[in-house]
Structure 1
Amino acid sequence: MRLWVVANTLSNAGAWMQMVAQNLLVLRLTGSVAITGVSLSVQALPGIVLGVAGGSLVDRWPRRLTAGLGQLAMATIAFATAGLAALGALNVPLLMMFGLLTGIVATVDGPACTLLGNDLVPRRDVPSAIAVGSVAGNVGRLAGTAAGAVVAAIGIPLAYAANGISFLLVALTIPLLKLADVAPEGPVEVAAPGGARDGLRYLARHRTLLALVGIGALTSLLGRNYSLSMAALVTGPLHATGSAYGLVAAALAVGGIAGSIVAGRLRQPRLRNVVLLSAIAAGLQVLTGVAPLVAVLVGVVIPMAAAEAAAATTTATMLQTVPPRELRGRVLGAWRTASTGWGLAGPSVLGLILQFAGARGGLIAGGVTVVALLALGRVAYRRWRTGDAAELSGPARQADFATAA
């Protein structure tokens, strides 16, 4: 587990460097912010189209082999991009093509690496393992605040090459991993007909997981894009500089790390935890909208990011532990399809809200709306469960209901 965490932390840092390098490169080649955004969207597009199919392959193939091949494919793409950039032969169409290939590989590599990390610890420690993975991601996010300076120092080609090396490190680590307290590796038999569609069916019929989809969409559209909303607040009403925004970004990352650690203490995560944590994050978002100074904003941002990260980590734990083992790849694939969709729509929706309501008004309106809808949704969900429980009869059906709830 230590090997896996160290390798993935380095890989996250490499991914941040490549993202900054790609943005700088597209801006240098085109001078267009719009095309830069399109280049990021192209990489995310396969998550919508192929997320379910990628998750199905993860359930059918050995996870160790799948993750290793995925990391090698990612490294190959990064090294090819670095070589072309060094030769001055890289253009926007080639960058778009490499981004599309990266997105396609990630639809399989992402869930494979996620589930492989869970297999390294006993079942009782899986929630903590997921939290540790979230901490590694947030450490990479914190390193991302300095990624611009690193790329400027080493150059764009070397930034891509460094990311390729980080993928190789993960690939070389995978054969050294020892699995703990899990079923033997190998192709997993599909328990029900339908193949890739099984993940969508399971997610759609499992009311708790379906509620997580609704919460994820709601918070992403109205609040979770803190990099956008905080930038608008700091450079707008607070009249601060870019260095002040860097301080706020670092505070967001610190809060994210703290929230992931807190979530790791929840041995049996529940939907009510996600609802409560999301409501706390939304309530604190309202307070950011009335913050008079950057120093006050930093003090509110840390617990806000902690609550959001704890909710996200708890959600990830439920997605990776509630479904049966043979369906987890497909459920994660279905979730990837949904989350990529609102991840692409979220910045645009929030940007429009901030444009028309202002930075402060947008933050306040979004936070209040999220809290109100979460409260209404919680009441409706409890009535839904109560009605189902009244209709159930017999021990077996009652057990099924308890598991779903």
Structure 2
Amino acid sequence: MRWWSAANLVSNAGTWMQLTVQNLLVLQITGSAAATGLSISVQAAPALFVSLLGGAAVDRWPRKLTVAVSQALLGAVAFTTALLVALDRIDMPALLVLAAVTGVIATVDGPACALLGNDLVPREDVPSAIGVGALVHSAGRLAGTALAGVTVGFLGTGAAYAANGLSFLFVASVVPFLRPVHGAVAEHRTGTEPTAGARAVPAPAELSVREGLRFFVRRPRLMALAGITGISSVFGRNYGLTLAVLVTGPLAGGAGSFGTVSTVLAVGGIIGAILGARLRRPSVRTVGLLAAAGALLQVVAGLSPSLAVLMVLVLPMAVVESVSDTAGTAVLQTDPPAHLRGRVLGVWSSIGTVWSLGGPPLLGLLMEWAGARGALVAGGLLIAGSIGAGLLVRRRGGLTPVTVPTKDGDVTGREALSTAA
């Protein structure tokens, strides 16, 4: 797990270097901010349409081999881009094609890497492993963004792509030496505990995309998690937009002030990842309560009379958001049976792409109508109110029987709450 975390730190730093430089490269080629947004959307779009197939592939193929191949392919795309930049042959159509290819490969690489990391620790330590992954992601983002400017300044734009290619190859070279815990591979292939005596390989019908989608839709706690995360993502997580307008508008700050706010948000994310790694039994209820708490802090932040007050509120907002994200990811990656986890993550990736593409425009419309303060206050109240209503409905509704098919075709009854642990 230490080797895997170190490899992912290097890879995350390389990825954020490339993302930062890619925006600059598009602006250099076209001079258009709209084209920059288009390149980001083209890379994200495959997750909307291909993630279900990518998740099915992760469930069907050996996990270590899948990660090694996908990382090598991502490295090849990065090296190709670096070569085109070095030869001054890069143009917007080529950049968009390469971005789309990267997005397609990522639909397999993302869930495969997440689940491989979970295979390296005992089941009870999976929430901690996810917390460590969130910490690595935050640290890699800070390092990569900072290194991008230094690399471009001294070595040029192509060097950032080449560095990202090397980071992918580093991950691929580490994968063969990873040792999953006893029984993890058997559980992945059979969907049962190693001692259950299940057949060795799932039938083809059980590896269909429809099976994962059906499981997700029929699982109340996963639907509740999707609802909480969706409304929070649209109205409560786009601080890069809302706080930027609040700081530079009503609070009369400048770019430097917003930079300080962004730094505090990043620090809070790291602290939250550390705290989230200490969760032992995260639940959807935990995610909901943390999201509601973050939404109420957002309301207060929207009413901040000064930058000093906003700074005090931004840190706990980021901490609560990060712990909530870690808890939600742990539920998402541990609730489904092992043989369905790739497809469930594929469903989640498709849903998340809808939020990421549709959320900013909706929030922008709200800000046009209500202003930065009004958007923060209204969004926070909407999030907290929706979660509170969901908890109230769950409490009044009580337990709902959920039937879950076993690998032998039998049906076992489980009691589950709509947002329960």
Output the TM-score relative to the length of structure 2.
Answer: 0.90
Q: Tell me whether 127-136 or 192-201 shows the greater mean CA deviation.
A: 192-201
**Residue 190 to residue 341, structure 1, CA distance change in 2 (3 Å):** farther
Residue 308 of structure 2 is aligned to residue 307 of structure 1 = no
**CA distance, structure 1, for counterparts of residue 256 and residue 108 of structure 2:** 38
- Equivalent residue, structure 1, for 2:103: 103
Q: Does 1:81 align with 2:81?
A: yes
Structure 1 match to 2:160: 159
1:245 aligned partner:
258
Q: What's 1:280 paired with?
A: 293
Residue pair 1:10, 1:166 contacting (<8 A) in 2 also? yes
> Are the equivalent residues in 2 in contact too, given 1:81–1:90 (CA < 8 A)?
yes
Number of residue pairs matched by the alignment: 400
> Aligned partners of 1:81, 1:182: CA distance in 2, in Å?
40
Equivalent in the alignment of 1:261: 274
Distance 2:297 2:156 in 1: 39
Residue aligning to 1:331: 344
Secondary structure at the counterpart of residue 180 of structure 1 = coil
Output aligned runs, 1:5-404, within 5 Å.
5-143=5-143, 146-147=146-147, 149-153=149-153, 154-184=155-185, 189-190=201-202, 193=206, 195-386=208-399, 388=400, 400-402=414-416
CA displacement, residues 54-109 of structure 1 (integer Å, 9 cap, x when unaligned): 00000000000000000000000001001101111100111100000000000001
Separation in 1 of the partners of 2:348 and 2:371?
Answer: 32
CA distance in 2, matches of 1:390, 1:251: 43
Structure 2 counterpart of 1:337, one-letter code: S
| Secondary structure class of the residue paired with 1:269 | coil
Q: Is the 8 A contact 2:14 2:144 kept in 1?
A: no
Measure the CA separation in 1 of the matches of 2:90 and 2:2.
37
Label 1:403 to 1:359 Cα distance change in 2 as closer, same or farther (>3 A).
closer
Runs of at least 5 residues in structure 1 that lack an aligned partner in the other structure: none
CA separation of 1:120/1:210 partners in 2, compared to 1, >3 Å: closer, same or farther? same
In structure 2, the CA distance between the partners of 1:75 and 1:145, relative to structure 1 (3 Å rule), is: closer
- Check whether the contact 2:301–2:314 (CA below 8 A) recurs between aligned residues: yes
**TM-superposed deviation, 1:389:** 5.8
Q: One-letter code of the match for 1:174? A: V
Q: Secondary structure of 1:401's partner?
A: strand
Q: TM-score when scaled to structure 1? A: 0.94
In structure 2, relative to structure 1, the CA distance for the partners of 1:304 and 1:144 (3 Å cut) is farther
Residues 147/371 of structure 1: CA separation in 2 closer, same or farther (3 Å cut): farther
Distance 1:343 1:93, change over 3 A: same
Report the more deviating stretch, 290-299 or 19-28.
290-299
Check whether the contact 1:5–1:136 (CA below 8 A) recurs between aligned residues: yes
State the alpha-carbon separation in 2 of the partners of residues 61 and 144 from structure 1: 31
Q: Structure 2: which amino acid aligns with 1:183? A: A
Q: d(CA) in 1 for partners of 2:162 and 2:108?
A: 22
Q: 1:177 to 1:148 in 2, by over 3 A?
A: closer
Alpha carbons 1:17, 1:148 under 8 Å: kept = yes
C-alpha distance in structure 1 between counterparts of 2:268 and 2:261, whole Å: 10
Aligned to 2:407: none
1:389–1:398 CA contact under 8 A, matched in 2? no
| Identical-pair percentage | 49
Q: Deviation of residue 140 (structure 1)? A: 2.1
> How many Å separate the matches in 1 of 2:353 and 2:150?
28
Shift of 1:399: 5.4
Counterpart contact for 2:59–2:207, Cα < 8 Å: no
Deviation at 1:179, TM superposition (A): 1.1
Q: Which is worse superposed, 367-376 or 262-271?
A: 262-271
Residues 301/141 of structure 1: CA separation in 2 closer, same or farther (3 Å cut): farther
CA displacement, residues 245-291 of structure 1 (integer Å, 9 cap, x when unaligned): 22111111111111122222221111110011000111111122122
AA partner of residue 182 (structure 1): G
Q: How far apart, in 2, do the equivalents of 1:310 and 1:107 lie? A: 25
Quote the Cα distance in structure 1 between the aligned partners of 2:163 and 2:398.
Answer: 51
The question of whether the paired residues in 1 share the 8 Å contact of 2:52 and 2:346 is answered with yes
**Range with bigger deviation, 178-187 or 198-207:** 178-187
Task: Please tell me the root mean square deviation across aligned C-alpha atoms, in Å.
Answer: 2.1
1:123 touches 1:181 (CA, 8 Å); kept in 2? no
Q: Give the Cα–Cα distance (whole angstroms) in 2 for the partners of residues 398 and 30 of structure 1.
A: 58
Task: Tell me if structure 2 keeps the 8 A contact 1:142–1:254.
Answer: no
Structure 1 window deviating more from structure 2 (60-69 vs 220-229): it is 220-229
Contact 2:398 2:417 in 1 (8 A): no
> Hey, what's the Cα distance between the residues in 2 that align with 1:2 and 1:120?
10
Alignment check: 8 A CA contact 1:121 1:129 kept: yes
